[in-house]
Each structure stands twice: as C-alpha cells, then as structure tokens.
C-alpha cells in the first residue's frame, strides 16, 4: 500500500475519468511541492530524481510523473460488491501489517465507520 491508493468514488454529474484526472493532477503537484519544501527530508533529491525520470519516459508530461497513467476501475453495481470492496479497502492496512485494527490507519475511512473522524471528508455508504 505504500505504492498505490484504493478509493471508492461516486459521481452523478462529472465523468469518472475527469475526477480521477483532476485528483491525480492536484495531489501530484501538492506532493511534489511538499517534497521540495521539506528541508529535513534526506531523500528529497533522490525522490525528485525518480519522479522526474518517470516523467521523461512519458511524452504526456512536462517534467514529473508521480502517478501511473492507468487506473484499474471496478464498477460497484450492487450492495454486495460495494460491501466487499469497502471491507477490502478497510482491511488492507491490517493485512499489510501497518495496524492491528482497520480504524487505526489514519489514511483510511475505516475510522469514520467506527464513529470517529478521519482526515478526509467522506460520505458514508449505508
């Protein structure tokens, strides 16, 4: 999980590919700026070099490439699949050994489903 993100995204108006494109654009710029501006990050030059090297391999980029170009979307067509995928997302950090309980992983919405408040505003699926 240190190399990818799982999300459940819903939309009624925007196209899903537009949401993902904008999310990738915004987050990549924010992450690259955070790397550049962190004076104590010992791996700063190496990380920027890696991201720039990836960018040079793809003609669609101006300089950097943080996210992969492809996605692996799965249509959540019924409640059974939604519950299965949501459970997978919440249990993934436990399976990876990052935490003992799903709600302990601060980058997950699992805490919101355990009556807490996570880092990102979400709408609970019920």
Cα-trace Rg, the chain: 17
Q: Is residue 103 a contact partner of residue 94, using CB atoms and an 8 Å limit?
A: no
Tell me the pLDDT tens digit for each residue of 4-36.
Answer: 888 888 888 888 889 889 999 999 999 999 999
Tell me the pLDDT tens digit for each residue of 31-71.
Answer: 999 999 999 999 999 999 999 999 998 888 889 999 988 88
- The domain ranges of the chain are 1-73, 74-126
DSSP 81: H
pTM for the complete prediction?
A: 0.75
Residue 3 has pLDDT above 80, yes or no: no
Stretch 80-102: mean pLDDT, rounded?
94
Predicted local distance difference test score (pLDDT) of residue 1: 59
């Amino acid at each position: 999980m240190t190399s990818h993100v799982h999300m459940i995204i819903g939309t009624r108006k925007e196209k899903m590919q537009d949401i993902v494109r904008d999310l990738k654009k915004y987050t990549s710029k924010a992450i690259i700026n955070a790397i550049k501006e962190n004076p104590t990050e010992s791996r700063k030059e190496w990380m920027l070099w890696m991201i720039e090297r990836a960018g040079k391999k793809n003609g669609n980029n101006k300089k950097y490439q943080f996210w992969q170009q492809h996605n692996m979307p799965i249509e959540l067509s019924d409640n059974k699949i939604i519950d299965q995928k949501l459970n997978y997302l919440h249990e993934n950090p436990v399976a990876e050994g990052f935490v003992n309980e799903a709600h302990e992983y601060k980058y997950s919405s699992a805490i919101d489903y355990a009556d807490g408040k996570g880092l990102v505003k979400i709408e609970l699926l019920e």
